[in-house]
Amino acid sequence: MTSARRVVSATSVLVLALAGALIASPATAAPPGDVDPGTPWRMRHWPQTQPWQVDEAATLSGKGGGPQPIDPQRYELPDTMTWSDYRPVPGTDWADPAVRGSERTFNGALVLVDYPNQPFVVTQPANSTIYGNPSGVQNLARADVPGFYRDFLNKPGALNRGHTIHEYWMEDSNGRFGIELSAYGVYQMPADSHEYGIEAQMQRGQGCPAGDTCARNLRTDARAAWIAAVGEAEAAEYDFVFFLSAGQDESATWQEFGPMKFTTKEDVTDEWGPPDAALPNWNATRYVDWTSWQASANIWPNATQGSSLQAESSGMSTYAHEFSHILGVGDNYNNPYSVPARRDYSGPWEMLSRGTFNGPGGPHSRWLIPGTAGSSMGAQHMLRNKMKLGIVDPGAVLRLSRSSLAGTGVVVTRVTARAVDSGRAGINVTLDGGDRSPACDTAADPFCDGGGYDNYTLEVVDRMGFDSFTPDSGVLIAKTKDEDAAPFIWTIDANPQDIDKIDFVLPDGTPQKMTIGDYRQLSDALFHAGTGSGSRFEHVDTANRLHFYVLDRKRDSGGVLSYEVAIRSLDGAGPARRGVRAYPDTASPDRTGWTRCTIPVRNTGRATDVLRVTAPAATLPRTVIAVPAGRTTLVEVWTKDTRRTTVTVTSESNPSATATTTCTTRK
């Protein structure tokens, strides 16, 4: 959706401070003879002069049957999702209207308008429009429409599956922001719907029927009707206004009832054409050259300071998206059909990008009335935007800088899924001194991020709550800018190759692949722990001198997902001495012929470190691990048909700190 003009924040932008030490305090080594009772039998019976203490941090991949990924990627495209994909956030009931925002509950007016040629679709019989009305909501009295849409948006019920815009903001802000709505109307506009929907920018001055005046300002006429009915004093009681227009919106119809319905623009039938025989049945639209005239004649949702425009097909996430503009954050998405092509910026992971489209059925179901499918359950905001909006606990964000990392070395922490208000919400690394990435040309390289970034962020996404309709659970890494100069969030794609999926099939049977610019290309963008996951577990930005690691995945007994992650400077290891020891293991093959050694690895240095494990001719479920100072953890080494395998463990902070041992197969 678009911002009609620059919006001004209605909230204070919080300055986040670093909470706690940059490096976790090193664990004290156990004295000789002090052995963790959970230590495997063979280790408990080794000579007690060894100062063992084994961590639980390293997840083992399983016993027998060969090595398994510890964190396999299982992404799902939005198109195939259903309401069964929804999972609640443990311990919350943010949809409860009695639970108000701890910092603010915004008071909004929902102002409904229709037209001489377009009544509200929910007041009509089924299939009474060219789009049809498959939702089953029909024949409402006009006077009942304001209450119907107020409740659909903000009162838990069967039609909205118990999900509301109040719930979205309460979940997204962990209880800080809520929304109340009061409904007004219906007010009939003085002109037909297409006179407001056909805009100078979107339609490039084309398609206005003779005798009509197009590019009318719907916001101006709708507000005038509302003020005439209630007066300025009552209107001034509200923090913002949602203007709700009868009919579909163009964002949800231009493709489905344009290039997806008709192979060429000349194929558009009269039914989908204008009420003017002199005009063609097609018209210009925003992202491509043409759509049907009827689709082009719908309004495009947008926001400006204090108000936004939506239509009946606009799902609840459209309102959340536009309210984000009202609060002061801009759009962060591309044209997926641009020539030259440009990769999407932040994709399905961010409300102000294509996360607005999230919901069962995906992007091509957003034309339904009411909006109960795609765009009904938008993604949370990414960490950058939560920080800007002031809806994340400052103490829950680990604030680092490139220069501080160079002085302290590696930082290891655990980050909790963003839908849950507990633990570490994420990491922000300031690129002090500026983005040093080499210049690239967005006109020649669709994967060029354009440069000029100020930060890196790292957060965890889990498919629960409003994030249930994101494609995957895992670690989300992004480059960000302080100013809203799009792209101001650039998701780092763990799988940048073409996702190679069909978007839709033309009426003539020709399949159309998702473009390189399609937001669903980022469905597999999240990082996962370990090897063999189908994704990556590390990201190295050599130019900006940073190395990111995804080390371990954990889901606790309450269902909360977290990841152990690390960030290391490529320019400095810090003052701590680094050291490592590794100890041999001997194991017997299982019935499938696999031998599983568990190699004890000890950090003999003075600070937590990230260690890399290599073993030629072996399979390693993980090749990077974090071990606190003075502690020991176990590393799995799987071999087959090999008598003895050499295992090497090396400090990432100081490559000269290395140890070699063996995994031996017992015959």
Q: Which two tokens stand for residue 289?
A: 């050259």
Query: 400: closest CA among 381, 382, 418, 415?
Result: 415
**Which of 569, 590, 618 is the endpoint of a domain?**
569
**Which of 569, 592, 618 is the endpoint of a domain?**
569
CA–CA distance, 631 with 455 (Å, rounded to integer): 33
SS3 112: strand
Residue 153, CA distances (Å) to 44, 78, 181, 477 in order = 60, 22, 9, 32
Q: Is the per-residue pLDDT at 482 higher than 60?
A: yes
Least confident of 43-47, 96-100, 155-159, 610-614: 43-47
Q: What is the pLDDT of residues 313-339, one digit of tens each?
A: 999 999 999 999 999 999 999 999 999
CB atoms within 10 A of CB 190: 12
**Average pLDDT value for residue range 333-352:** 97
SS3 326: helix
The pTM of this model reads: 0.91
State the residue for tokens 């919006």.
Answer: 7
Is residue 303 domain-shared with residue 434, that is, in the same domain? no
**Average pLDDT value for residue range 107-126:** 96
Q: What is the pLDDT of residues 67-108, one digit of tens each?
A: 999 999 999 999 999 999 999 999 999 999 999 999 999 999
CA–CA distance, 601 with 610 (Å, rounded to integer): 12
What pLDDT, on a 0 to 100 scale, did the predictor assign at position 65? 76
Give the amino acid at 134. P
Choose between 126 and 309: higher pLDDT: 309
CA–CA distance, 620 with 637 (Å, rounded to integer): 5
Q: Is the per-residue pLDDT at 24 higher than 70?
A: no
- DSSP category for residue 54: B
Domain assignment present for residue 226? The answer is yes
Choose between 584 and 65: higher pLDDT: 584
Is residue 311 domain-shared with residue 398, that is, in the same domain? no
Domain assignment present for residue 655? The answer is no
Residue 22, CA distances (Å) to 253, 299, 427, 551, 655 in order = 50, 50, 11, 18, 22
Domain assignment present for residue 286? The answer is no
What pLDDT, on a 0 to 100 scale, did the predictor assign at position 641? 80
Q: Is the per-residue pLDDT at 2 higher than 70?
A: no
Domain assignment present for residue 323? The answer is yes
Neighbour-count burial of 240, counting CB atoms closer than 10 A to its CB (0-12 exposed, 13-18 middle, 19+ buried): buried
What pLDDT, on a 0 to 100 scale, did the predictor assign at position 11? 32
Query: 601: closest CA among 658, 656, 538?
Result: 658
Is residue 316 domain-shared with residue 421, that is, in the same domain? no
The tally of CA atoms less than 13 A away on the side-chain side of residue 156 is 12
CB 562 within 8 A of CB 415: yes
Residue 181, CA distances (Å) to 218, 226, 376 in order = 21, 15, 17
pLDDT band at 61 (very low <50, low <70, confident <90, very high): low
Is residue 201 domain-shared with residue 121, that is, in the same domain? yes
SS3 407: helix
Is residue 153 domain-shared with residue 259, that is, in the same domain? yes
Domain assignment present for residue 205? The answer is yes
Q: Which residues contact 575 (CB under 8 A, 6 or more apart)?
A: none
State the residue for tokens 């409300």.
Answer: 351
Domain assignment present for residue 574? The answer is no
Choose between 46 and 395: higher pLDDT: 395
Is residue 321 domain-shared with residue 447, that is, in the same domain? no
Q: What is the pLDDT of residues 439-457, one digit of tens each?
A: 999 999 999 999 999 999 9
Domain assignment present for residue 85? The answer is no
Is residue 318 domain-shared with residue 427, that is, in the same domain? no
Is residue 309 domain-shared with residue 433, that is, in the same domain? no
Domain that holds residue 248: 101-264+297-328
Mean model confidence pLDDT for the chain: 90
Query: 152: closest CA among 137, 141, 170?
Result: 137
Phi, psi of 541 (to 5 degrees): -110, 90
**Average pLDDT value for residue range 472-477:** 98
Domain assignment present for residue 469? The answer is yes
Is residue 183 domain-shared with residue 302, that is, in the same domain? yes
What pLDDT, on a 0 to 100 scale, did the predictor assign at position 62? 57
Task: Give the chain's domain count.
Answer: 2
Is residue 245 domain-shared with residue 320, that is, in the same domain? yes
Is residue 527 domain-shared with residue 416, that is, in the same domain? yes
Q: Is the per-residue pLDDT at 549 higher than 60?
A: yes
CB 558 within 8 A of CB 417: no
Is residue 314 domain-shared with residue 450, that is, in the same domain? no
**Average pLDDT value for residue range 377-393:** 98
Query: 595: closest CA among 580, 611, 615, 610?
Result: 615
Residue 91, CA distances (Å) to 94, 421, 559 in order = 10, 10, 10
**Which of 569, 599, 625 is the endpoint of a domain?**
569
Least confident of 10-19, 70-79, 214-223: 10-19
Phi, psi of 149 (to 5 degrees): -75, -35
